[in-house]
Structure 1
């Protein structure tokens, strides 16, 4: 317990007033000798003890009353994290005061016992108060000049309306008041918190007008308040300040989301950063809380019924509406917009607290390409920021599928890929060896396995190996690289496949199959797939037996499998053997079916569920392409499926590698033949140069033989010492020793003087044949330069820039600045158009998603705050006045003067009643019977 007005404790001297009056009155009473008084001594002695107790109670009550008044005027308060219980200090002080006053009424030993007890209690109370001051109030001591970081939560939940103002508005207003009333010499740093916290001032500013101007310009960002990251930004900014004392003030609501309380290690790192500062900063958490009565209905998300959406049929769009408040609400209708145009509207019924409702819309997209979809809700609630959800759906015009037929003899439906091709696109053209034609999302092409060429693999979304026994090493390596780059692979393991080949088939991301193939099992009666095991997303649609007849299939021969090699079982037969297995491989996906999809293995192709099953398998294997829906972060980035490996390539329009590169990208390998052409429209046909940088990772330990084909000059350096250079023609460069999995820095420089232009870099692995060094053997270096910026409009309509740059895996499209949830409209350059197959002059929408957790208002717990206190001196001021008190070196806490005032008023009433009762008992007219040994005398009359 401490005091806001400690000097007013001098008022406790008023306790001496009733004591002095008592002493003066007692000394004023003069003894008068009167013979008749000896007859009254016996009666007075009988009442003396009672009178002393009455005087004791009156004196204690009067001293205690004055003590309560003095303490209340001094404004006692209980500071945060008080280590001394005020319920002990305050009673000890008051009882000590009461005993001290009462000791002047009693006599003899009792007087000294009361005084000793009073001294012990008063000294204990004073000692505890001084201890509290030492342990706690020093946290508020003024230390002259200081740097203060103002962290303003700008998340979606801060737009909640309370008492006619949003929480964000109140936070800014209090921050401005704090700046205005802070002591001289205080410098302020402003950090706007959100999904990507941003320092609005590079360093703490002492000019208050500048700080107030920054605060006036702040606007809510939306998304989640990444508090831990915001504190990190504030710490870095405070380190730029010149003052030794540091403090961080966080203006936020009660949201737990975004604080990373589930990751204590992250707080350990922040705590170490605070310890390294000249003085460990105090953390003031100004929590505005949440109203106990909350009306809020939010849109939790928008999902599609299929992973691959095409223009060939309708798709179901599911909008989830949730009541995250405390009251039942009947919101208005949900509307669906596609490309900014409203396409539908549906009502939502009454939603009680915690209830979810799914509204479905069916829509057929007419144009391929990325489409911006937005769901809006007329909620009429306290928080409007979550009444909208947006996402981008990549609509496919067609999905090119290559089916490699491992049993091409016989009629169309006797072949290994016949039923699968017809299931994907039931067109008679397929039976004539042609493509299916327009109107089909799935665009299959069947190629007999013996006729497969490298050119057939280009521009395929999915490659299906239907009972293919084995592949040439060159094609197997090419397919592995393409799968790692984002192409899908579906292996249908019929009776002709050679398990040894598939089990040894590896690429840059390890074995391609999710599970190794074993021996063939045969059952004349056949086994059936078990829908209860269809837990993988590729087949989850068929888990309910009402949706398909797959449970009635009879498969008479299938492959046993071994332990998974990085994959998972997607479905099983009724006997427990795997039916399907899946695996993510680099940027792509692989899927294994352990039986053939033709009549040789059973009746599976004859079932009604076979067609949708094959569509779902191919759709999952194809993946979603570039994910244009990203989480909110600083510089939101879209990962592009270019190459899972490769080298960072810089291109110059001169032959000397001089100046700034014209552009930078990731090339999967050094394998180019431009002829008389040029690598890019931005380069000349002659006199250009290229530099490739990155790392070379060997798949096996041993001696590798390097060679090259080049026109005009190639310079190659491996590690720090091995350098090679070759000119026109095919040349052997030499041999190098490489260790499996150990990265070796690689740098290759090429220039073209004129005429024909080509460059290819080969290696011959130990025990292998000569081949172009594949993409999965390279790792690009961190880019030094990005490409030319592209124009972007963010959800608020403000212009930004985006660049296409190399990443650790492939390339990425990075948008500068902090992420504001919503749709970003980007104007792509030619390279991005080619990567995503965008039509000319089309804009690319990118959606930054809002975190649905912002609508649930999960509060912080005492355990959460205890984690923060382990690393920081945490204070929780309840008002801007408390914060100003901290900056001025004063304490703050829960004041208890009202409690003392009420106690004093009650004691005043009790003292009045007690005094009146004592007065009546001692009135001078009281009759006393005295026995003089003869006739009785009453009141002096016979």
Structure 2
């Protein structure tokens, strides 16, 4: 327990007033000799002890009353994290005051016992107060000028309306008041917190008008408050300040989201950064909490009924609405806007607290390309920020699918790809060798395996190998490269498929098959797929047997498989053998079916569920393409490619690697067969050069044998070893690598003329020759190149975007912090080519908000305990408390009201006690005295 006005404790001297009065009155009572008094001695002696106890109570009450008044005026308070319980200090002080005053009433030994006891209690109370000051208030001692970081939470939940104002506006106003009331010389750093915290001042500023101007310009961002990252930004900013003392003040609500309490290691790193500062900063958490009564309905999610959306049919949009408040709410209608035009509206009924409901809209897109979707609800609640949500869906005009038929003999339905092609586009035109037409999303083309050429693979979203025995190495390499670059590969392993070929088929990301193929198994009665195993997203639609008849299929011959090689089972037969398996491969996907999709397999093609099954498998293999919905972060980025590794590649339009490269990108591996074509339209067909840079990270220790196929020249450097080779396939030599130890990697290639190709292999210890996979490389970070693209963010402000190499391929990076909503990007020629965007059109990108911001999960005592392990955490409840910390006075929970109430009660009790004693003593004056023969009453 400490005091805000400690100098007013001098008022405790008033305790001496009743003591002095008592002593003066006792001295004023002069003894008078009177013979008759000897007859009263016996009676007075009987009353004396009782009178002393009455005087003791009165004196103690009067001294205690004055002590309570003096203590209340001094404004005692309990500091945060008090190390000395005030319930020990206050009673000790008050009992000591009462006993000290009462000791002047008693006589004999009792007087000294009470006096010594009171002195011990008073000294103990004083000692505890000084101990509290040493252990606690020392935290607040002023040590010269201070650098203070003001971290303002600008997340979605700060838009909550309390008492007619948003929490965010209240936080800004309190921050401004703090700046005005802070001690002279205090320097302020302003950090706006959100999904991507941003320092609004490069360093702490001492000019208060500048700081107030920055605070006035702050606007709510939305999304999640990344508190841990915001504290990191504040720490870096404080390091730029010149004052030794540092403080961080966070203005936020009670949200737990974004604090990374589930990752103690992250807080360890932050704690180490604070320890390294000249003085460890205090962390003040100005927590506004959440109203116990909350009306809030939010848009919790938007889902599509199909992963691939086209113009051929309607798609169902499922909007999830959730009541995240504490009261039942009947919101208004949910509306759907596509491309800025309202296309539908659906009502929502009463929602009790915690209830979720779904609203479905059906819509058929008429135009292909990226489409911005906005969903709004007329919630009329306390938090408006979560009443709308945005998504971007890439509507495809068609999905070009190549079906390579490995059994082309016989009629159309006797072929390996016949049923699959008709399932994708049920039109008789396919049987006559024509295309499906614009009425179908899936655009299948069937080519017999012996007639397959390089050009047939260009521009395919999915390549289906229907019971193809094997492929020429040239075509196999081209397909592997296409999948690595984002295409889908679906392998229907019928009885003609040669396991040896498929099991050795590798590319830039290792083996293509999710599982190695084994022998053909035959069962005359047939085995059925098990819907209970349909847990993968590719087949989840068929898990419920009520919606599908796949469980009645009888597959009479299928392929056994080995252990998965980076893949996962998608579905299984009732006997436990895999039916389908899948794998993410580089930027693309591969899917394996272990039985033929024709009459040879059994009755599978005749089932009602066969057509949707083929659609779902092909759609999953195609992937979602470029996802234009991204999480909120600093410089929100759209991944153009998502490989797990690769090399930074620079391309020149000359053979000498001179000047500025035409472009820079991330290549997953060195596995290219350009033939007589150019690698990119910005390069010539001949006389171009490429340089790949990065690191090589082997998966095991040992000696690796290197092989290259080149036309014309490849120069290679791994660590301190160099290699060079010319035209043809050449053994380069061997290199010893250590598992997990990255070594520098540089490869330089140039093309003189004619055909062009470059492929780099290695043979791992105990393994077989394969293209060095993408996951063995780490790209080099490079400087951004090219002209920036224009962007308009959700607030209407201009920004810039760059298409640049990234850790996992290329990405479209939008500059600045993330504001949830729709960004409109004006694409350059390269981006238009990558995404097929029409000229003079913009690319919408949706930065998503976090639904967790609407659920108001509060921080727990364990969460705060984690913070206290690394920081001196204080929780002020007002601007005055924060100013008190900056002034070195401290703050806490004041208890003067408690003392005032106790003093009032004691005043009443003292008055009652004094009146009772007075009346008791007046009645005691009628003492019966026996003078012998007669009784005389006085």
> 1:657: Cα distance to partner?
5.3
Does structure 1 retain, via aligned residues, the 8 Å contact 2:507–2:773?
A: no
* Pair 1:737 & 2:741 matched: no
Matches within 5 A, 1:156-175: 156-175=156-175
What residue in structure 1 maps to residue 93 of structure 2?
93
Deviations 1:589-644 (A, max 9, x none): 22222222111121111011110111111111111001110000001111113876
What is the aligned partner in structure 2 of residue 815 from structure 1? Answer: 814
Q: Is 2:894 aligned against 1:892? A: no
Work out the CA distance in 2 between the residues paired with 1:667 and 1:293. 55
Structure 1 650/563 Cα, relative in aligned 2: closer, same or farther at 3 Å? closer
Tell me the SS of whatever aligns to 2:560. Answer: strand
Q: Is the 8 A contact 1:664 1:787 kept in 2?
A: no
Once the two structures are overlaid, the 10-residue window that deviates more, 647-656 or 825-834, is: 647-656
**Aligned equivalents of 1:674, 1:470: Cα separation in 2:** 22
Q: Does 1:704 align with 2:703?
A: no
- Sort the Cα spacing of 1:653 and 1:574 in 2 relative to 1 into closer, same or farther, 3 A: closer
Structure 2 distance, partners of 1:795, 1:473, is 50
User: Is 1:541–2:541 an aligned residue pair?
Assistant: yes
8 A contact 2:629–2:848 mirrored in 1: yes
User: Superposition pairs for residues 605-616 of structure 1, below 5 Å?
Assistant: 605-616=605-616
Aligned equivalents of 1:263, 1:773: Cα separation in 2: 35
> Quick check: 1:372 aligned with 2:372?
yes
Offset of residue 655 of structure 1: 7.2
What is aligned with 1:575?
575
Q: For residue 854 of structure 1, what is the aligned residue in structure 2?
A: 853
For 2:922, what is the secondary structure of its paired residue? Answer: coil
Farther-moved stretch of structure 1 (930-939 vs 824-833): 930-939
CA apart distance, 1:290:
1.2
Residues 184 and 111 (structure 1 numbering): CA distance in 2 closer, same or farther, change over 3 Å? same
Question: Offset at 1:503?
Answer: 3.3
CA shift digits 1:833-892 (9 cap, x unpaired): 111122222211111000000111111111110000000000000001100111111110
Pair 1:459-2:459 in alignment: yes
Question: Following the alignment from structure 1 to structure 2, what is the Cα–Cα distance between the partners of residues 513 and 686?
Answer: 35
CA distance in 1, matches of 2:107, 2:618: 103
Measured in 2, the distance between the counterparts of 1:528 and 1:733 equals: 50
- Worse-superposed segment, 559-568 or 855-864: 559-568
Q: CA deviation at 1:680?
A: 4.1
Structure-to-structure mapping, 1:130-529, within 5 angstroms: 130-529=130-529
Q: Hey, what's the Cα distance between the residues in 1 that align with 2:685 and 2:453?
A: 30
* Offset of residue 131 of structure 1: 0.6
1:907 and 2:906 equivalent? Answer: yes
Comparing 411-420 and 713-722, the one that deviates more:
713-722
8 Å contact from structure 1 (residues 649, 690) kept in 2: yes
1:112 corresponding residue in structure 2: 112
Aligned CA distance change for structure 1 residues 923 and 392 (closer, same or farther; 3 Å):
same
User: Per-residue displacement from partner, 1:81-129 (whole Å, max 9, x unpaired)?
Assistant: 0011111110111011111111111111211111121112111111111
Q: Give the drift of 1:457.
A: 2.4
Question: Which secondary structure state, in structure 2, belongs to the residue aligned with residue 796 of structure 1?
Answer: coil
Per-residue deviation at 1:559? Answer: 2.5
CA RMSD of aligned residues (A): 2.6
How far the C-alpha of 1:751 sits from its partner, in A, is: 7.1
| Aligned CA distance change for structure 1 residues 169 and 847 (closer, same or farther; 3 Å) | same
- Which moves more between the two structures, 468-477 or 533-542? 468-477
Indicate yes or no: 2:78 matched with 1:81. no
SS at match of 2:599: coil
Q: Distance in 2 between matches of 1:344 and 1:736?
A: 66
Inter-partner Cα distance in structure 2 for 1:526 and 1:658:
65
Tell me the CA shift for residue 694 of structure 1: 3.2
Q: Which position in structure 1 is the counterpart of 2:27?
A: 27
Structure 2 stretches of 5 or more lacking a match?
none
Q: Distance in 2 between matches of 1:696 and 1:62?
A: 86
Residue 518 (structure 1) shift: 3.3
Aligned residue in 2 for 1:64: 64
CA distance in 1, matches of 2:819, 2:698: 42
| Cα distance in 2, alignment partners of residues 41 and 826 from structure 1 | 109
Matched residue, 2:826 = 827
Q: How many residues align?
A: 931
- Once residues 671 and 240 of structure 2 are traced to their aligned partners in structure 1, the CA distance between those partners, rounded to angstroms, is 46
Q: Structure 1 CA distance, aligned partners of 2:772 and 2:104?
A: 104
Distance 1:41 1:677 in 2: 130
Deviation at 1:133, TM superposition (A): 0.4
Q: Judging changes above 3 Å, is the alpha-carbon distance between structure 1 residues 428 and 794 closer, same or farther for their aligned structure 2 residues?
A: same
* Alignment CA distance shift 1:383-1:705 (3 Å): closer
Shift of 1:689: 6.2
Distance in 2, matches of 1:62 and 1:643, equals: 83
- Listed one character per residue, the Cα deviations across residues 429-482 of structure 1 (whole Å, up to 9, x for unaligned) are 222333323211111122222333333322221122222233334433333332
How far 1:686 moved relative to its partner?
9.3
Deviations along 1:651-682, whole A, 9 cap, x unmatched? 4577775655453233564757697989545x
- Whether contact under 8 Å (1:152, 1:193) holds in the other structure is yes
Q: For residues 29-57 of structure 1, what are the alpha-carbon distances to aligned partners after superposition, in whole Å with 9 as ceiling and x for unaligned?
A: 11111111111111111111111110110
Maintained 8 Å contact 1:248/1:282: yes
Name which of structure 1's ranges 872-881 and 118-127 shifts more when overlaid on structure 2.
118-127
Relative distance call for 1:689 and 1:174 in structure 2 (3 A) is: same
1:665 is aligned to 2:665? yes
Residue 122 (structure 2) aligns with: 122
Cα 1:705–1:260 change in 2 (3 A) is closer
> How far 1:494 sits from its partner (Å)?
1.9
| TM superposition shift of 1:17 | 0.8
Kept after mapping to 1: 8 A contact 2:709/2:730: yes
Normalised to the residue count of structure 1, the TM-score between the two structures is 0.94
Return closer, same or farther for 1:167/1:691 CA change in 2, 3 Å cut-off.
same
User: Do 1:643 and 1:811's aligned partners in 2 also have CA atoms closer than 8 Å?
Assistant: no
Alpha carbons 1:369, 1:396 under 8 Å: kept: yes
Measure how far apart 1:501 and its partner are: 3.4
Q: Aligned partners of 1:47, 1:558: CA distance in 2, in Å?
A: 114
CA distance in structure 2 between the partners assigned to 1:901 and 1:328 by the alignment? 43
Query: How far, CA to CA, are the matches of 2:571 and 2:152 in structure 1?
Result: 50
- In the alignment, the residues of structure 2 paired with residue 642 and residue 262 of structure 1 have an alpha-carbon distance, to the nearest angstrom, of 27
Unaligned runs of 5+ residues in structure 1 are none
TM-score (norm 2): 0.94
Q: 1:928 to 1:118 in 2, by over 3 A?
A: same
CA 1:196/1:500 → structure 2, altered by over 3 Å: closer, same or farther? Answer: same
Classify 1:157/1:923 alpha carbon distance in 2 versus 1 (closer, same or farther; 3 Å): same
Deviation string 1:535-587 (CA, Å, 9 cap, x unpaired) is 11111111111211112111222233333333222222233332222222222
Measured after TM superposition, the shift of residue 354 of structure 1 is: 1.0
Q: 1:782 is paired with a residue of what secondary structure? A: coil
